[in-house]
């Protein structure tokens, strides 16, 4: 990978490699900046198979740092600076990273005994003073990056991916989608999500331009669709929960978008006829380098069968096996095992779990070949496409993120007021969220809002339960296992974010309370309840805003809801907008409006 990006720099040094709302960076600038940083990292101990923490926001500097880590021969540990600091430090410790590259405000907090920090703002002079060096050419089996996923033992698992596996993904992508210097690719995926690797490097290894999206764009279907058109993006990855609303919008016939790639969750919708681009559904666990199967989804008249996850990508094999490890009959449902070049090394510092999930490949004659046992179920159609049939275990997807409920429970059990807990996924309205069940260490049980605030220091936002139900004891089956079927449905009082009950005082509050409750899938909400602590997030916020616009005829925005958080404060904002609209009317318009009423 690093050599291919450098080759693009030599061929077209002035071509734009990166763009954002803040400007652009050419290929020449990218490689020169990366090589200066690489030389500095080498002085700090970077080298083959050495993990270097990468904890920068979405920016040119993050891409520079990732390339520099590779040019130094090392591997990066993908981290999101928005995660709780304790979690970031724990992952750096687990990876054994001797260096972390971060922004100045957090760099010293992440450093410690045996770990140095690098901040562009602080260390610019030292970086620039490093003499030129010859970049390292990594071997195919050298470590390229680590991505941490939720772990069933209560600890996150570090997935190790090699340069050979990454290169296979890059070459397949470039061939499948015809990526070249004239393409413009988007960068919207979460920074700790392996899809971010997929967005960047096939494009940068082909001389294309990668355009970085702002956070307010990447979380709103409407804003993201407008941005894709405005930025003339030709290939975009969009998580499933955002991609499905994009399919229903009106697209200009001359849009530059050629491929809308999606994945990370079950695709429920077929594209309508007449879309000016192809919808491509993708499937693959982090352990197999982002993508294992891929396929264009054609428009269908009916939705009786879910869209497929496509066919295996290049140098990849899919086996559907029964509980004895034997292939299932044609058309049968079996566990998905993945083989081929994209299979990762295994889990960092977890030889036991690696041996359990990365098993010998009995179908290959290649020495040392392994299969990754996904825990997912699939069925092969007669045409070779694979249907996804859910997971064997309890691991769930929450807004596109893979979550192991036991990791959340392990964090919850650290609260001094919690004696025992269990966490499961529940369908609330049209969304899936986590529900926690708590046995208190002493009476009274901890308040749901306080428990969520406690977890917010330890876990990313998508791993926070929306409800906390107090139980005298966890229900058990006859053999002593948790009886999940006996766990009660959460009640209204179990929701985090509840305020003392107060009825709506105005028609505006009453209508907004109805809208918020409907979007959250709840029977009711209090006017002072916190929308986001009740389980609201950016995608649901978009729905609230759209319904409020329809109900009141004024331009309610996401900013209004994010700042208001409660029905009462949002009602104040809406009434202010209504007053502004009324004051802007002419006398004639006001008279017509009064007559209509």
Pseudo-torsion of CA 579, 220, 246, 256, nearest 10°? 100
103-118 average pLDDT score: 95
Q: Is the dihedral of CA 253, 255, 258, 263 positive or negative?
A: negative
Q: What is the CATH number of domain 404-494?
A: 3.30.300.30
pLDDT (tens digit per residue) in 43-59: 999 999 999 999 999 99
Any idea how long the chain is?
Answer: 597
For 561, phi then psi, to 5°, come to -70, -40
Strand ranges in 243-365 using DSSP code E only, listed in sequence order: 259-263, 278-283, 293-297, 311-312, 316-321, 333-340, 346-347, 358-360
588 Cβ contact list (under 8 Å, min separation 6):
none
pLDDT-derived band of residue 511, with 50, 70 and 90 as boundaries? very high
The tens digit of pLDDT for each residue in 131-183 reads 878 888 899 999 999 999 876 556 789 999 999 999 999 999 999 999 999 99
Q: Does pLDDT of 567 surpass 80?
A: yes
Phi, psi of 170 (to 5 degrees): -65, -50
Distance CA 548, CA 546 (A): 5
Class of 507-596 per CATH? mainly alpha
User: Does the structure show a pLDDT above 70 at 510?
Assistant: yes
Q: How far lies 277's CA from each of 239, 259, 302, 530, 593, in Å?
A: 16, 5, 20, 39, 43
pLDDT confidence of 420, banded at 50, 70, 90? confident
- β-strands 116-118, 99-102: how paired? parallel
- Please determine whether the domains at 404-494 and 507-596 fall in the same fold group of CATH: no
Q: Considering the entire predicted model, what is its pTM?
A: 0.76
Distance CA 570, CA 28 (A): 48
Count the neighbouring beta carbons within 10 Å of the beta carbon of residue 589: 12
Q: What is the pLDDT of residue 467?
A: 87
Give the right CATH number for 311-391 from 2.60.120.260, 1.20.1250.20, 3.30.70.100, 2.30.38.10: 2.30.38.10
Confidence of residue 300 (pLDDT cuts 50, 70, 90): confident
The pLDDT assigned to 152 comes to 56
| Distance in angstroms (rounded) separating the CA atoms of residues 471 and 487 | 9
Q: If one looks up domain 1-138 in CATH, what number appears? A: 3.40.50.980
Q: pLDDT at position 7, please?
A: 96
pLDDT tens-digit map of 170-224: 999 999 999 999 999 999 998 999 999 999 999 999 999 999 999 888 878 889 9
Please give the pLDDT value at position 506. 93
**488-522: b (≥16 Cβ within 10 Å) or e:** eebeeebbbbbeeeeebeeebbebbbbbbbebbeb
| Phi-psi label, residue 133: left if phi above 0, alpha if psi -120 to 50, beta otherwise | beta
Q: Taking residues 380-385, what's their average pLDDT?
A: 94
For residue range 309-335, what is the model confidence (pLDDT) as tens digits?
A: 999 999 999 999 999 999 999 999 999
d(CA 148, CA 404): 12
Model confidence band, residue 592 (pLDDT cutoffs 50, 70, 90): low
State residue 39's pLDDT score: 96
Whether residue 279 is predicted with pLDDT greater than 60 in this model: the reply is yes
**pLDDT-based confidence at residue 249 (cuts at 50, 70, 90):** confident
Rounded mean pLDDT, 68-74:
97
pLDDT of 422 > 80? The answer is yes
Is 60 exceeded by the pLDDT of residue 480?
no
Where are the chain's structural domains? 1-138, 311-391, 404-494, 507-596
| Helical ranges in 187-330 per DSSP H | 195-204, 215-218, 221-230, 240-247
Taking the C-alpha atoms of residue 594 and residue 597, their distance in angstroms, rounded to an integer, is 5
Provide Rg for the chain, Cα atoms: 25
Say how many C-beta atoms besides its own lie within 10 A of residue 170's C-beta: 23
Q: Return the higher-pLDDT residue of 198 and 578.
A: 198
Element (H, E) at 428: strand 418-428
Q: What is the mean pLDDT of residues 238-244?
A: 83
CA 418, 150, 287 angle in degrees (round to 5)? 165
CB-based burial, 310-335: b 16+ in 10 Å, e otherwise:
bbbbeebbbbbbeeeeeebeeeebbb
């Amino acid at each position: 990978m690093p050599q291919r990006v450098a080759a693009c720099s030599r061929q077209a040094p002035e071509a734009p490699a990166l763009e954002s709302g803040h400007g652009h960076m050419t290929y020449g600038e990218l490689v020169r900046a990366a090589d200066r940083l690489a030389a500095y990292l080498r002085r700090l101990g970077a080298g083959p198979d050495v993990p270097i923490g990468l904890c920068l926001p979405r920016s040119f500097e993050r891409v520079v740092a990732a390339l520099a880590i590779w040019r130094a021969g090392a591997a990066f540990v993908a981290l999101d600076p928005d995660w709780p600091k304790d979690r970031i430090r724990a992952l750096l410790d687990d990876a054994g990273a001797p260096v972390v590259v971060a922004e100045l405000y957090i760099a010293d907090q992440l450093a410690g005994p045996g770990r140095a920090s690098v901040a562009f703002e602080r260390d610019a002079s030292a970086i620039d003073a490093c003499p030129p060096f010859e970049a390292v050419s990594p071997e195919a089996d050298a470590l390229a990056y680590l991505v941490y996923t939720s772990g069933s033992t209560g600890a996150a698992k570090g997935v190790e991916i090699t340069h050979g596996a990454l290169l296979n993904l890059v070459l397949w992508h470039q061939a499948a989608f015809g990526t070249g210097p004239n393409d413009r690719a988007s960068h919207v995926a979460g920074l700790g999500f392996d899809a971010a690797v997929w967005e960047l490097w096939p494009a940068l290894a082909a001389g294309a331009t990668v355009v970085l999206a702002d956070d307010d764009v990447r979380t709103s279907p409407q804003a993201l669709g407008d941005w894709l058109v405005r930025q003339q993006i030709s290939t975009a990855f969009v998580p499933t929960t955002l991609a499905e609303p994009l399919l229903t919008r009106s697209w200009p016939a001359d849009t530059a978008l050629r491929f809308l790639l999606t994945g990370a969750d079950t695709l429920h919708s077929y594209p309508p006829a007449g879309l000016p681009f192809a919808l491509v559904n993708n499937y693959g666990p982090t352990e197999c380098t982002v993508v294992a199967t891929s396929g264009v989804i054609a428009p269908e008249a009916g939705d009786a069968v879910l869209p497929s996850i496509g066919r295996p990508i290049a140098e990849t094999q899919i086996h559907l096996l029964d509980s004895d490890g034997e292939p299932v009959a044609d058309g049968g449902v079996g566990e998905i095992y993945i083989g081929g070049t994209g299979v990762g090394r295994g889990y960092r510092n977890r030889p036991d779990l690696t041996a359990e999930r990365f098993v010998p490949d009995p179908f290959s004659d290649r020495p040392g070949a392994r299969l990754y046992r996904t825990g997912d179920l699939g069925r092969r159609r007669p045409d070779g496409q694979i249907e996804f049939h859910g997971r064997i275990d309890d691991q769930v997807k929450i807004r596109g993120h893979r979550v192991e409920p036991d990791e959340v429970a392990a964090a919850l059990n650290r609260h001094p007021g919690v004696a025992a807990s269990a966490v499961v996924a529940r369908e609330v309205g049209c969304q899936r969220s986590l529900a926690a069940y708590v046995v208190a260490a002493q009476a009274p049980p901890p308040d749901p809002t306080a428990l969520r605030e406690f977890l917010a220091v330890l876990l990313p936002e998508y791993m926070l339960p929306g409800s906390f139900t107090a139980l005298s004891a966890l229900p058990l089956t006859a053999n002593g296992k948790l009886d999940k079927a006996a766990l009660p449905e959460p009640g209204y009082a179990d929701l985090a974010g509840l305020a003392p009950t107060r009825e709506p005082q105005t028609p505006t509050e009453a209508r907004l309370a109805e809208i918020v409750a409907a979007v959250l899938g709840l029977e009711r909400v209090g006017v002072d309840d916190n929308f986001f602590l009740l389980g609201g997030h950016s995608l649901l916020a978009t729905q609230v805003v759209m319904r409020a616009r329809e109900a009141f005829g004024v331009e309610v925005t996401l900013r209004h809801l994010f700042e208001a958080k409660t029905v009462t404060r949002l009602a104040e904002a809406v009434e202010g907008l209504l007053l502004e609209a009324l004051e802007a009317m002419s006398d004639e318009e006001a008279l017509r409006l009064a007559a209509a009423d």
